[in-house]
Amino acid sequence: TTYRFYLLITLLVKISTYFLLNHSFCLIDPNTPSKCCFNFYKTAIPMNFIAKYEKTRSDCPNAGVVFTTKRGISLCLKPRVQWVKRAMDYIDLQIVENNSTSASV
């Protein structure tokens, strides 16, 4: 009977852990990026090489921005660096211009 009790407790702990972890992952907004940055690329990238960017989640240990190049390469960058800010503004402007051009056609 002690063995059965131990098995029952172990099973309950595993099931509880599963549901807790599953529930906590569901709380993450599906529209937020899934990446966190731990190493940062330091060299400036020409703005016309960048296809898009996304900010890392607020629960990541380091604030970061993930730039994706037109060739599909993802790079982590520090969002407070001046050229990174300018590149983000440039991409935002490109998106606005593309949306206004396609809306007027």
- Please give the CATH topology (third level) of the domain spanning 32-104: OB fold (Dihydrolipoamide Acetyltransferase, E2P) (2.40.50)
pLDDT for 43-62, tens place per residue? Answer: 999 999 999 999 999 899 99
27: left (phi over 0), alpha (psi -120 to 50) or beta: alpha
Q: Which residues of 38-58 are buried (b: 16+ CB within 10 A; e: fewer)?
A: eeeeeeebeeeebeebbebee
Bigger pLDDT: 43 vs 21: 43
pLDDT tens sequence across 91-103? 999 888 777 766 6
CA atoms within 13 A on the CB side of 54: 12
Average model confidence (pLDDT) across the chain = 81
Yes or no: say if 67 and 75 are a contact pair by the CB < 8 Å rule: yes
